[in-house]
Amino acid sequence: MKFSNRKFLVLTSGGLQAALLLMCVWMWSVWMQRRLVDSFRQQATIDAQQLVRDLATTIAEEGDEVGEVGSTAWRRTQQRVQGLHESPDGFVCVVDTARNLIICHPTMRSTIEQGDGAPMFAALRPPKDAERGWSNIDNQQLAIGRNVSNSTLAVVSFQSNSRFVRQAKTVLLPLRIMGSWVAIITAICSGVMVSSVAAKYEHKISNVNRELEHLVSERMDEFTRTRDAIIYGLARLAESRDTDTGAHLDRIQHYSTLLAQQLANQHPVIDTDYITKLRLASTLHDIGKVGIPDEILLKPGRLTETERKVMQQHAVIGSQCLREIRERLGEDDFLDMAYNIAAGHHEWWDGHGYPNGIAAQTIPLEARIVAVADVYDALRSRRVYKDSMSHERARQIINEGRATQFDPEVVDVFNQCSERFEAISQKSADVTEVCLLEKIRECLADAQDAADVDRSLSFLRDEATAEDADLVESTT
């Protein structure tokens, strides 16, 4: 897990936990606020009932003079009303239910003294069926009233519900702040803990992944080496039926790799993986020769037309064999390339090749590459029916086949690196000569003759080593 991923995990988990905790705090505070509002309203109802009861009793004892604005009884009652605790959300008043007037009010005395009066608030109006006391309670207001005995007067305590809400919020504010901080701190601690645990197990997982990747890499390398060895062994087995020494496959690998490297700039499909597969797949170009009879394959003279047609079947036999393997194994890029080479390395650019007579770009690129490499090596190699040809003559023949037998583009890059082709061919010939001299030395009994052969072997080995170093440097 990368650092950015771990950071995203910590932020996400911490944010979710903080959001959930804050939501829980908010839901709890809303529920608690409702409970507190109900509690405050219930207590205010009890207090208001006691207050209006006491004031109504006092007014009843003073008689009807309270209803006369400006009278002595009215003044005493007004002073009592003004002396009661008042808030912006509540007040206590004395109303005249017959005239729908507020007689005594903490802030309306001047208006009443002028005789204008005021319409009685709907919340202050007693119900028609109210005998002594009444309550008008809803989510907006709380009105508690008490009729004055033997009078049209009533004492009313009015309080707005906002007062209780404000009281509940005042009580809950510290708890809400504290709960929010607890939620945030808990989320931070949880995030740090998640980060610590993630970092701890990330290291373990990373080590396990590296071990698994190393193990898988080793197994894949082992499998690849085994596969390549088997494939190359099968190709050598097929070549062993021919008169070549077996170095033909090694040279084909070098030639094909060299041409592909030169063509990489013109063909984006040619990358390191393509060249690696081509190097091995090129060895299977003549795998179909296993199905050609020895009397034709090893014939020292020129083949008849019938024998030539039989010999040409090796492209069909090899491609069919590889196609059947691919059908059993499923899709495989290497087998696809090997099939294309086996089936198409004898096709001609102008369509006069075999076995299918396809032409130009319809011939797979890998087959066009191997075609030039195979013909060059055939021209440069000695066979039972012909001598080896010089590099210049082989190059001339390939150029004569440009745009007829061979892809012009492949021939052009062949000309660019033909000197390295010659070096590869010469190195292979020197190795063959060394092997021959070693066989001769084993058969010699005379010490002087053996010494002469040893000197020749030493010279050839030194020369081959130097050329090998130059060749490796040039081809890479």
- Nearest-angstrom CA–CA distance, 165 and 170: 9
Q: Count other C-beta atoms under 10 Å from residue 324's C-beta.
A: 11
* The domain boundary residue, chosen from 124, 144, 167: 167
In a domain, 158, yes or no: yes
- CATH number for the domain that contains residue 360: 1.10.3210.10
Number of domains in the chain: 2
Last residue of a domain, one of 396, 416, 436: 416
Whole-angstrom distance, CA of residue 101 vs CA of residue 163:
25
Cα angle: 76, vertex 77, 82; to 5 degrees: 100
Q: What is the pTM of this model?
A: 0.50
Residue 69: which of 81, 57, 58, 84 has the closest Cα? 81
For residues 19 and 153, state if they share a domain. Answer: yes
In degrees, rounded to 5, the angle at the alpha carbon of residue 72 between the alpha carbons of residues 92 and 86 is: 20
Residue 42 belongs to some domain of the structure? yes
The residue among 63, 248, 27 whose CA lies nearest residue 151 is 63
Q: 72 lies in which domain range?
A: 3-167
Single out the residue in 398, 416, 434 at which a domain terminates.
Answer: 416
Measure the CA–CA gap between 216 and 213, rounded to whole angstroms. Answer: 5
What CATH number does the domain containing 147 carry?
A: 3.30.450.20
> What string of DSSP letters covers 249-273?
HHHHHHHHHHHHHHHTTT-TT--HH
Same-domain status, 142 and 245: no
Q: Are 159 and 44 in contact (CB under 8 A)?
A: yes
Same domain, 393 and 260: yes
Same domain, 138 and 268: no
- Say if residue 160 is in the same domain as residue 258: no
pLDDT tens over the chain, length 476 residues: 444 566 666 677 767 777 787 788 788 888 888 888 888 888 888 888 888 888 888 888 877 677 777 788 888 888 888 877 656 677 888 888 777 778 788 876 544 333 343 434 555 666 665 567 777 776 677 788 888 888 878 888 888 777 778 878 888 888 778 877 877 787 777 777 777 776 777 777 778 888 888 888 777 767 666 666 666 666 655 665 555 545 788 889 899 999 999 999 889 999 999 999 899 888 888 888 888 887 887 777 788 888 888 888 888 888 888 888 888 877 888 888 989 999 999 999 999 999 999 998 999 999 999 999 999 998 888 765 667 788 999 999 999 999 999 999 999 999 998 899 988 888 765 544 444 444 444 444 455 555 655 565 555 455 544 444 444 344 33
288 shares its domain with 409: yes
335 domain residue, yes or no: yes
Same domain flag for 11 and 102: yes
From the CB of residue 212, how many other CB atoms can be counted at a distance below 10 Å? 10
Do the domain assignments include residue 435?
Answer: no
Same domain as 403, residue 306: yes
SS3 303: coil
In a domain, 114, yes or no: yes
**Domain shared by 150 and 260, yes or no:** no
